[in-house]
Amino acid sequence: MPAILEADGLVKKYGEHVAVDDISFAVEEGEVFGLLGPNGAGKTTTISMLTGVLEPTAGTARIGGHDLRTEPTEVKRINGLVPQDLALYPTLSARANLQFFGRIYGLKGRDLRERVDDVLEVVALTERANEPIEKYSGGMKRRVNIAAGLVHQPRLLFLDEPTVGVDPQSRNHIFESVMKLNRERRMSIIYTSHYMEEVELLCTRAAIVDEGRIIALDTIRNLIARLGGGVIQMGLERLDDEMLAAMRALPAVTAVTIVTPQPAATAVAAAAAAAVTGEAAVAGEDRPTDAKPAGPVVKIETRRSQDALVQVVGYLNERDVGFTSIEIFEPNLESVFLHLTGKKLRE
């Protein structure tokens, strides 16, 4: 498939701060491509450069065969942008808002009416189209925001965190709209999120972004397959080199690394592990619920999470070492991100 977008070495600096650091990727025609990363990772800045809102400090992109720097007008005709922030007039109806944005793109008369009716149907708001935006729920406003980005029939749609702060019903409507646009109209879509389950559901490929860089890019299946087993993150009361070596030698464990200590409630975590293993009562016994990790947090990569948990907890009990927190990440994009960065996606 030909690429509708090719980003080449995009950089954005604010003084000494590098918000986007040499990002390159391509999106195929008709693809739903995910940019996954925590808030502040550089996703929105990347999209802002690709849509002409921000000028790159370095690098460029070609969109639909047009150069971002030298042919900005042609690029903007191809792109549709749905920003995180609502760009709507609250006292106007949804229909009036969409007519306004359509006129900006040069639409008028019958073409404008048909386009507005079409996008209202896409976002399932036809019956409420004549009500003022200020009477809408947050989720409905988000859906009108998406419709505004669609009214000129873009070939490439940028959706920047479109489900932040919306109710479950509107979230499902947004998912359905994205899938329908891609399936029925072959629209290419770039979808940014820090919700891994959304990217897993909607996207065929994804780039994982952290601190302004792409740290992994592949199909969703291949990204998850990189990890193999799951990841266990465990806070320990103490740790020495002998313990570290012994845990690394356990049959179901592939690697153990030390990560930054972090506070965590402990009695609930220990009880959860006890329920899984049936052997952790000693480690979690009589521990106050407001305790904090006295030692490091370790990341344990596993072949089989449940087997590894039983083996690690059994070893800790033998050594009379308590654990203060525990989280199990089965193979998914969240655990891939933890594996690559040593931190959770929403930290």
Q: 208, 225, 242 — which closes off a domain?
A: 225
Q: Do residue 127 and residue 252 come from a single domain?
A: no
Whether the CB-CB separation of 124 and 143 falls below 8 Å is answered with yes
Residue 139 maps to a domain: yes
User: Do 233 and 220 share a domain, yes or no?
Assistant: no
CA-CA distance, 25 to 20, in Å (whole number)?
A: 13
Is there a domain that residue 221 lies in? Answer: yes
Domain identity same for 214 and 235: no
**Average pLDDT, stretch 189-216?**
92
pLDDT value of residue 346 = 60
* Residue 75: pLDDT over 50: yes
298 plus 276 within the same structural domain = yes
> What does the DSSP 8-state code read for residue 93?
B
Instruction: Identify whether 170 is part of a domain.
Output: yes
- Can you give the pLDDT at residue 262? 44
Is 213 among the domain residues? yes
On whether residue 335 sits in a domain, the answer given is: no
Burial class (CB in 10 A: 0-12, 13-18, 19+), 286: exposed
Look at residue 347 in the predicted model and tell me its pLDDT.
53
Look at residue 66 in the predicted model and tell me its pLDDT: 95
Residue with tokens 């996207």: 203
Are 59 and 28 found together in one domain? yes
Percent of the chain with pLDDT over 90: 63
**Sign of the dihedral through C-alpha 289, 291, 292, 294:** negative
* C-beta of residue 127 within 8 angstroms of C-beta of residue 93: no
- Where b means 16+ CB within 10 Å and e means fewer, 176-191 reads ebbeebbeeeebbbbb
Same domain, 185 and 53: yes
Domain count, the chain: 2
Here the CATH number for the domain that contains residue 36 is: 3.40.50.300
Whether residues 205 and 258 fall in one domain: no
Q: What is the pLDDT of residues 93-150, one digit of tens each?
A: 999 999 999 999 999 999 999 999 999 999 999 999 999 999 999 889 999 999 999 9
Tell me, yes or no, whether 183 and 294 share the same domain. Answer: no
Q: Between 83 and 338, whose confidence is greater?
A: 83
Beta bridge partners of 205: 33, 219
- Between residues 261 and 44, the one the model is more confident about: 44
* Per-residue confidence (pLDDT) for residue 266, from 0 to 100: 40
Q: Which residues contact 318 (CB under 8 A, 6 or more apart)?
A: none
Choose the final residue of a domain: 196, 225, 254: 225
Q: Which of 15-24, 236-245, 258-267 has the weakest average pLDDT?
A: 258-267
**Residue 298 falls inside a structural domain:** yes
Domain that holds residue 278: 229-330
Is residue 143 located within the same domain as residue 47? yes
**247/178 same-domain check:** no
Predicted confidence (pLDDT) at residue 1 exceeds the cutoff of 70: no
Q: How far apart are CA 334 and CA 4, in angstroms?
A: 28
Residues 160 and 243 placed together within one structural domain of the fold: no
Supply the pLDDT for residue 283: 38
- % helix / strand / coil in the chain, to the nearest 5? 40, 25, 35
CA atoms within 13 A on the CB side of 173: 21
In a domain, 41, yes or no: yes
| CA–CA dist 159, 86 (Å, integer) | 12
Question: What confidence tens digit (pLDDT) does each residue in 280-300 have?
Answer: 433 334 444 444 445 689 999
Give the residue from 225, 256, 284 where a domain finishes. 225
Shared domain check, 250 and 196:
no
Closest CA to 66 of 53, 54, 52, 56: 52
Question: In this structure, is the dihedral angle defined by the CA atoms of residues 136, 176, 44 and 263, taken in order, positive or negative?
Answer: positive
Structure confidence at residue 165 (pLDDT): 81
Q: Hey, what long-range contacts does 20-27 have (CB within 8 A, 24 or more apart)?
A: 20/45, 20/46, 20/49, 20/212, 21/211, 21/212, 21/213, 22/59, 22/213, 23/59, 23/209, 23/212, 23/213, 23/214, 24/59, 24/214, 25/207, 25/214, 25/217, 27/3, 27/156, 27/188, 27/190
Q: For residues 8-36, give the mean pLDDT.
A: 96
Is the whole model's pTM more than 0.85, yes or no?
Answer: no
- For residue 274, tell me if it sits in a domain: yes
Write the CATH number for 247.
3.30.70
Tokens of 144: 């009108």
